[in-house]
Structure 1
């Protein structure tokens, strides 16, 4: 179990510890949002990605808005993932695993604890799991009741996606879900009560299929790494340009000691200017240490700029340049370039742009609660950049275990059979679904 005596950065400052304890007890008594069997299946699929047989597209909101979690909106978000997966399949000629930043992406780490709006200084917005975006003190108060609201909203999204209710007696099961869920495992008062135990004593995180740890909270001696080290879920960690080869090797040893394909993904958020300089040494260090990790490119977080209107934005060509640099950096030293991690919306917004000049003297639509996202047309354009580089097959990691059976997760006695290629098939009507909504 996570040792709460370890440092835990970016945590809410609750004003009533006794209320937080009661809420944690309530969450611990609630059903998990994901099942262990589904977690095992996802690890099987990611093992195929780690072997270079498939790719991942992971995309969704920077910070989920609970007001956009109804069935219609979730369907539109899912349609974007369908479209991006189809685009990546066309670009790379490989099947694609679709993963959403969805059903729990309600908390955000921030670079500073407060912000000044005119003469008013307020706690910074940290996602609906912690506080609200409205510019008043009551909304910005860190409210632990939001932990329960987040759990219930995430449950609704899981149902809209088809994950919940599949085994309820008397209820006709929906079509097999194709969109896996993921979010940053940030607020420990939410994540820890949702850890569940298997019959053999191992644990899984019941809040999401695929948790990741962010660049700001991945300290080797920290509580966040301790959290994901002790669960059987596949896990991911974001790494930036300041990461050293020694640090990343220790991180991999902590999270993937058995060197299992599908267990660990590293999400590179380097920035277009530094990706080709900084990333190859990290990929080489991990490969030499024998960890069969998946490398994903996050071309967005290292390339945020401020436009002439004072709003943050991200430029499409800069992000495409990072993707191309990522592909060269990873494959040239024998790593597995496994896909993309993007922030997207189904809405027709202009939060990212081809050039900052589009913001001069005009008002554009922005609906993001935090950082700028790609609209569907922009996202398709960016995913298409994957085909700009000839990707070489990855070299096998030194000392890694050769998994002849992708289902073989140690200690798992009831892992379902590995899905066939149909598991990856992208629905051909994705574009029409977007156009109809």
Structure 2
């Protein structure tokens, strides 16, 4: 039996907002409990099987999307652009790895963010920190920063509209393999680093031409399976969207197919771990440089006591300078204990710094180096690098410096749109895909 919301708060839930009106919170939660599921239990089970395949090296996971979604950007154009770049990346990775790529969007629910401080101070004025559109507003005013439980309902409706668009795009011809590859051909032609990837682009062209010549036209060429994910941070929202599956009588979180516990909320005796151990979705847990092998084993025993394949994913976020030293002991001990887990690399969060002009940014080369370190560790241990999780957008922004476009800190002041963490833009995302493809070929 899943604990009640009250029991979870008694245990202690980290990174929760302080709402000024409990009656309004109760009303929002009660309304959420009556709304239809955003995803279905059967879809979650399908994804669990695919993650299990990735943990065995029979597939590769590509997870990507916004650091923090915003209501104003939950539009058809933005959703299409995010989906487009992930599909483009997936084509390159599929060809390189010669295995299916499991496509998971960091979208339709990624509206809440943990923060290092409960407050923010500007020019002597202190207000509650911005915790994502699910909690409060980004504008630095007292009215905007008051946590508002009505926003939880807005999260639901924005996520529902996003998922409707994704389903229409992925089954309605937009995800056709030949069309997606044509977009990649355009990238190879026009990108300043495109020449480097021309050979692989031509190989994919030849493969598609061969398939057409022999009359092969499987359904998989025209549609894709696409799954949603987010950090399940806010107890009120996640608990209200937990339902009992009529087939099995098991609880599922129906706000997303794959949900994860963040680095700041993975306390073994905390409310998030307690909640997650009861739901039947495939779940993830972030592990940063402070995590020990014993921490990983304790989390695995609690979150996946039956050692079910595909159930648990460890998402590592060490930073480029720490992954080669910090990751091996975790992977070695977890593997030696026979724990069934998929390992995914988050090369974003450990590589963030403040630029000279005050913008939070990352270097493309650091992001890439962490992925390379992730592959190097698994290759040396004979274990499986199951996937990557990136923060990216399909838009033409400048939030991460470096890469083939040689984006500089000066550009941050002109094309920075993220409200929390910096993201790879479309060109950087595709450059990353081609470079990771080379790693996959060697692994």
TM range (shorter): 0.7 to 0.9
Q: Name 1:126's counterpart in structure 2.
A: 131
1:117 aligns with 2:165: no
Quote the Cα distance in structure 2 between the aligned partners of 1:215 and 1:279.
Answer: 15
1:290 and 2:338 matched: yes
Which position in structure 2 is the counterpart of 1:211? Answer: 259
Structure 1 unaligned blocks of 5 or more: 167-174, 394-437
Q: 1:330 to 1:159 in 2, by over 3 A?
A: same
**Unpaired segments ≥5 residues, structure 2:** 172-221
Output aligned runs, 1:323-402, within 5 Å.
323-354=371-402, 358-360=408-410, 363-389=413-439
- State the distance in 2 between where 1:325 and 1:48 align: 22
Q: Secondary structure at the match of 2:349?
A: coil
Q: Distance in 1 between matches of 2:388 and 2:309?
A: 18
Residue 254 of structure 1 and its aligned partner are, at CA, apart by 1.0
Matched, 1:78 2:76: no
Structure 1 counterpart of 2:239: 192
User: Which residue matches 1:398?
Assistant: none
Query: Per the alignment, in what secondary structure is the counterpart of residue 56 of structure 1?
Result: strand
Mark the CA change 1:28 to 1:176 in structure 2 (over 3 Å): closer, same or farther: farther
Residue 18 of structure 1: how far off its partner (Å): 1.5
Note if contact 2:399-2:412 (Cα within 8 Å) is conserved in structure 1: no
Q: Distance in 1 between matches of 2:285 and 2:228?
A: 16
Question: 2: CA distance between counterparts of 1:268 and 1:311?
Answer: 25
Q: Distance in 2 between matches of 1:349 and 1:98?
A: 23
CA 392–288 in structure 1, closer or farther in 2 if over 3 Å, else same? farther
Q: What is the deviation of 1:334?
A: 3.2
- Counterpart of 1:318 in structure 2 is 366
What is the CA deviation profile of residues 320-342 of structure 1, one whole-angstrom value per residue up to 9, with x for unaligned ones? Answer: 11111111112322332111100
2:383, 2:442 → 1: CA distance?
A: 9
Q: Which residue of 2 aligns with 1:255?
A: 303
| Number of equivalences | 384
RMSD (CA atoms): 2.0
Q: Does 1:41 align with 2:46?
A: yes
2:314 is paired with a residue whose SS is: strand
Structure-2 change in CA distance of 1:163 and 1:107 (3 Å): farther
Q: Is the counterpart of residue 69 in structure 1 residue 51 in structure 2?
A: no
Distance 2:367 2:93 in 1: 16
CA contact 1:324–1:388 (8 Å) conserved in 2: no
Which consecutive segments of 4 or more residues in structure 1 shift more than 3 A?
Answer: 360-363, 387-393
- d(CA) in 1 for partners of 2:56 and 2:441? 14
Contact 1:293/1:336 (8 A) holds in 2? no
* 3-state secondary structure, aligned to 2:386: strand
Q: 1:95 aligns with which of 92, 95, 100?
A: 100
- Give the secondary-structure state (helix, strand or coil) at the position aligned to 1:140: coil
TM-aligned CA distance change 1:187 to 1:163, over 3 Å: farther
How far did 1:15 drift? 0.6
The alpha-carbon distance between structure 1 residues 8 and 90, as it changes in their structure 2 partners (threshold 3 A), is same
Correspondence 1:266-281 to 2 at 5 A: 266-281=314-329
Pair 1:179 & 2:226 matched:
yes
State the distance in 2 between where 1:234 and 1:362 align.
36
Q: Distance in 2 between matches of 1:361 and 1:229?
A: 44
SS of corresponding position for 2:263: coil
CA distance in 2, matches of 1:236, 1:319: 20
Label 1:259 to 1:334 Cα distance change in 2 as closer, same or farther (>3 A). Answer: farther
User: In the alignment, does 2:224 pair up with 1:224?
Assistant: no
Tell whether the 8 Å contact from 1:331 to 1:392 is kept in structure 2 after alignment. no
**Deviation of 1:391 (Å):** 7.1
Q: Which residue of 2 aligns with 1:434?
A: none
